[in-house]
Amino acid sequence: MDANRVFLGTYGKIFIGGVWQSNFNHLEANVEIQKRELNLAGDPWVRHKKGPMKGTGTVSGFKVTSDMIARGFDKFELVSKLEDPEAYGYETITLQNVMLDKLQLANWTAGEEVKEEVSFTFEGYVLNDKVTAV
């Protein structure tokens, strides 16, 4: 492995409604599948069938605007773009039907930067651009 090809999160970007959210510096999104266990006659193994999937995530960074509060609980698309000048390319993933779990209306301390963290769910994703080794 060429260490130069490892992505640094420094070059990651978040887009909501096509607008780069430069104030956010952390994004995590996961998909979890609920597997159904099947016990079959004559088979000593427990088999698994795919069940429903659930997408969850968190976005955080510095508070710059009131956009997240104004967005409320309406669904939107969020695009994650992970790039690095030394990597083999870039990866772009669209999270579909994103809905916030809660709204952070206020969370500040005098003399400190105001940070914003929002958890969310999503209902689908598209891998728009994938990275492959050359």
Q: How confident is the model at residue 90 (pLDDT cuts 50, 70, 90)?
A: confident
Arithmetic mean of pLDDT over the chain? 92
Domain boundaries, the chain: 11-100
Span 72-85, average pLDDT: 92
pLDDT at residue 120 greater than cutoff 90: yes
Ranking 3-7, 11-15, 22-26, 74-78 by mean pLDDT, the lowest is 3-7
Q: How confident is the model at residue 97 (pLDDT cuts 50, 70, 90)?
A: very high
* More confident site: 111 or 131: 111
DSSP 60-100: EEE---SHHHHHTT--EEEEEEEE-TTSSSEEEEEEEEEEE
Over the stretch 14-69, which tens digit does the pLDDT of each residue have? Answer: 999 999 999 999 999 999 999 999 999 999 999 999 999 999 999 999 999 999 99
Query: Are 51 and 117 within 8 A, CB to CB?
Result: no
Strands 76-83 and 46-62: unpaired
Span 96-121, average pLDDT: 95
Give whole-number Cα distances, 76 to 15, 24, 44, in Å. 11, 17, 46
